[in-house]
């Protein structure tokens, strides 16, 4: 039987046994076989629709099968679309409030349930439980809870004089209500990811800092936070993309407010949905989708480049 030899240790001019190369080839083929289903799914359900969207964005589509080539007219129309810019403003406001607040709440919960105590498994499950519920169901439940004057939340606030507040009917409060519901829905998922990052930090580092007299805040700032940066980066990027194009940016808006009142909760993805399926303006909707996807690709690439993939200070 041929002996397995590392090519780096083979004598010059001596042939490398074929058994080694055959084994490497089998391992490579096995790896490709495991990756192939995901890669095929991405190409069919993500890559192909993106390419088709770019093509459709160059046409005016009437919704009845009629295509008229208009070139870049759909993209030029964006500059004069006041409702689009209102939706962009809503999306940016939602993103800059939901992402940092959701991250802080999730990190606090992860630190709270990191150490073992009686019932810790039940507490983790309770925090994660909202995430396993369909967002449509979540929207219907919260719509019932926040119903004007008759919902459970107005009833609880009535003793302090806030029973008549319309959380979903007031333009000043509707978007804030969506942010709160989104945080409630996603905090358990982000908590588990951050908890995994916390569990990977060796406890010896914190013990050494404690022996040196470091306070809880100093241990978090100088030990936990630097080692948690890659996990935190993933959570922030994931929540940023979700705030722009995620299910909570559409499902909650569609179920709770339909973009109202006065377009105060009309996100970009909801506006794209309206253009495509309410006004049958598929070409313009495809152009909007192309711009949004391009923006996210560039923004995510910049975030990865500037932070070195979440490692920040690694050369």
Q: What does the alpha-carbon distance between residue 273 and residue 247 come to, in Å, rounded to a whole number?
A: 13
Contact indicator for 29, 16 with CB cutoff of 8 Å: no
pLDDT tens string for the chain (315 positions)? 444 444 444 555 555 555 556 888 888 888 888 989 988 998 988 888 888 888 888 988 876 778 888 889 999 999 899 999 999 999 999 999 999 999 999 999 999 998 888 888 898 989 999 888 888 899 999 988 988 878 888 888 888 887 788 888 888 899 999 999 999 999 999 999 999 999 988 888 888 988 888 888 998 888 899 889 889 988 998 898 888 887 778 888 999 999 988 899 999 999 999 998 888 888 999 999 999 988 888 888 888 887 776 665 554
The H or E element spanning position 103 is helix 82-112
pLDDT of residue 271: 93
Using one digit for the tens of pLDDT, what is the confidence trace for 90-119?
A: 999 999 999 999 999 999 999 999 888 888
pLDDT of residue 14: 52
pLDDT of residue 313: 59
Question: What phi, psi does 162 have (nearest 5°)?
Answer: -115, 20
C-alpha separations of 143 from 146, 151, 167, 257, 297 in Å: 5, 8, 10, 9, 34
pLDDT of residue 315: 45
* Residue 235, strand partner residues: none
pLDDT of residue 310: 62
pLDDT of residue 307: 74
Residue ranges of domains in the chain: 72-307
Using one digit for the tens of pLDDT, what is the confidence trace for 40-69?
A: 998 988 888 888 888 888 988 876 778 888
Q: What does the alpha-carbon distance between residue 38 and residue 34 come to, in Å, rounded to a whole number?
A: 8
Q: Which fold has domain 72-307?
A: MetI-like fold (1.10.3720)
């Amino acid at each position: 039987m041929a002996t397995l030899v590392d090519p780096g240790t083979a004598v010059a001019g001596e042939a490398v046994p074929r058994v080694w190369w055959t084994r490497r080839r089998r391992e490579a083929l096995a790896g490709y076989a495991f990756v192939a289903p995901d890669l095929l799914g991405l190409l069919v359900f993500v890559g192909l629709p993106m390419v088709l969207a770019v093509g459709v964005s160059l046409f005016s589509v009437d919704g009845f099968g009629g295509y008229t080539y208009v070139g870049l007219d759909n993209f030029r129309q964006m500059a004069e679309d006041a409702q689009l810019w209102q939706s962009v403003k809503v999306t940016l406001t939602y993103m800059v409030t939901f992402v940092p607040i959701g991250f802080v709440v999730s990190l606090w919960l992860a630190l709270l349930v990191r150490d073992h105590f009686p019932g810790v498994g039940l507490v983790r499950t309770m925090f994660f439980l909202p995430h396993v519920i369909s967002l449509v169901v979540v929207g219907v439940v919260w719509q019932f809870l926040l119903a004007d004057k008759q919902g459970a939340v107005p009833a609880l606030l009535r003793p302090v004089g806030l029973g008549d507040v319309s959380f979903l009917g007031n333009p000043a409060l509707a978007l804030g209500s969506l942010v709160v519901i989104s945080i409630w829905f996603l905090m358990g998922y982000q908590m588990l990811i951050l908890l995994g990052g916390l569990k990977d930090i060796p406890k010896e580092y914190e013990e050494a800092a404690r022996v040196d007299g470091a306070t809880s805040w100093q241990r978090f700032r100088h030990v936990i936070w630097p080692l948690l940066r890659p996990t935190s980066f993933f959570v922030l990027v994931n929540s940023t993309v979700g705030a722009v194009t995620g299910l909570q940016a559409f499902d909650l808006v569609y179920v709770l407010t339909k973009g109202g009142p006065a377009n105060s909760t009309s996100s970009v993805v909801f506006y794209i949905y309206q253009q495509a399926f309410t006004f049958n303006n598929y070409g313009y909707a495809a152009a909007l989708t192309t711009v949004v996807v391009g923006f996210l690709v560039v923004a995510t690439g910049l975030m990865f480049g500037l932070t070195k993939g979440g490692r920040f200070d690694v050369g």
